[in-house]
Each structure stands twice: as C-alpha cells, then as structure tokens.
Amino acid sequence: MFFRREKPKVITFEDRLQTLRELGFKTENAASGTRVSRDGMGAIVRSGSGEAAVEAEKGGLLLGDEIGHLTNAGYQMFFRTPGGHMVPARAPQLKALHAFNEDLREALGETSFYNQSLGTTTEAHLYDRVKDRDAGVPVRAWQK
C-alpha cells in the first residue's frame, strides 16, 4: 500500500512551448507549425507523435518572413532561404546560431550529439566543382 508508484508525467507540446517561453524564446504561429525565435535566429517546431512531443527543424537566420538555413559553398558559409535569397554567414551569426540550437535542443529535451556540440553543422553543400556533377559533364567556369 505504501509502495505506490507515481504515474510519470506526460510532457505535451504546450508544456514544451511554455518551457521555451520561460527561456526567452518568442513563439508565434506559422503555416507549417510554430515559429520559435530568439536573437535573430529561428526554427519551426511542430507537435510530434509517439515518444517525441515536439519535432524541430534545423535553426537558421531570420530573413524577413523566411528562415535562412546554413549552406556550405566550399569557400564560405551562407544562409539560404527557400526563396533563394543568400546572405554570407559571419562569425557572430554562427555563434548565435550555435547557442540558439543548443538552447532549443535542451529546452525540447532532445539529445545533444558530440559533433553538434563542437560547432555549427550543415547538411547543404553547394561546392562549385560538385554543382551539376550528376547531370553528365558539368559546364566549366571558363565555358560560360
């Protein structure tokens, strides 16, 4: 009778959003979920399914109404929006993006991996020598 176990609390999407607000993040509704922003950086989060209460996209620089995601061009990093707008990434912006992603992962209860904790990572690579590589012989810079 006195060995009764407490029921584990199920953390909901709204609980996670409230935690984000307490940590200084600004939340607002967006078309594809909830836009979370702080210090000029932003990400889209949506309600998850199963164990994960929240699914978050990769964070990026706020450029108007769009979020510019980090893209590696080989010689420099850029923030690129879905609309095609590109802005060069500067060191203070990369530091702010790294801090934003770390704090967002911590607030959402996600696992922080070693390679992500070292610095900013990117999935998009637009190297000039790799461009059009899969479409046969690429057009060389001197052939334009």
pLDDT in tens, 73-95: 878 889 999 998 999 999 999 99
In this predicted structure, the answer to whether residue 130 has a pLDDT above a threshold of 80 is no
Task: Specify if 128 maps to a domain.
Answer: yes
> Total structural domains in the chain?
1
Q: 45 and 101 in contact (C-beta within 8 Å)?
A: no
What residues make up the domain containing 87?
13-134
pTM for the model stands at 0.77
Task: Specify if 143 maps to a domain.
Answer: no
pLDDT confidence tier of residue 41, bands split at 50, 70 and 90: very high
Task: Specify if 7 maps to a domain.
Answer: no
Task: Specify if 92 maps to a domain.
Answer: yes
The residue count for the chain = 144
CA pair distance 94, 97, nearest whole angstrom = 5
